[in-house]
Structure 1
Amino acid sequence: MDIEEPWKWHASFSARQDQQFKYAPSSNDWKMAEAIRSLLKIFFEAINVVSGSSYPTENRYFHEIWSVNFLLQRHAKNKNKVIASMVSKMQQKFDKYWKELYLANCIPVILDPRYKLEFIVFRIKQAFRDNAAEHLQKVDIVIKSLFKEYSHEMGDSLSDPLEEEFHVDEVEEDDNPLADWEAHLRVYKKQAASELDRYLSEELFPRKKDFDILGWWEMSSPK
Structure 2
Amino acid sequence: MRIAPAPDERPAADLTARARIRDAAIACFAEQGFDASFRTIAQRAGVSPGLITHHFGSKEALRAECDAEVLRQYTAVKTDAIDMPSEHLLRYLADPGIAADLMVYMLRVIHAGGEPARLFLERLIDRARGVMARSVEVGLVRASRDEEARLRYMTYLTMGSLLVQFVTSPGQTPEEFVASISARGQDQILPTLELFTEGFLNDRTALDDYVRYLWQPPDDQAGSQSQTA
Pick the TM interval, shorter chain: 0.3 to 0.5
Greater relative contact order (Cα < 8 A, sep 6+): 2
Q: Report the TM-score, using the length of structure 2 for normalisation.
A: 0.37
Q: Report the TM-score, using the length of structure 1 for normalisation.
A: 0.38
Find the structure with the greater CA-based Rg. Answer: 1
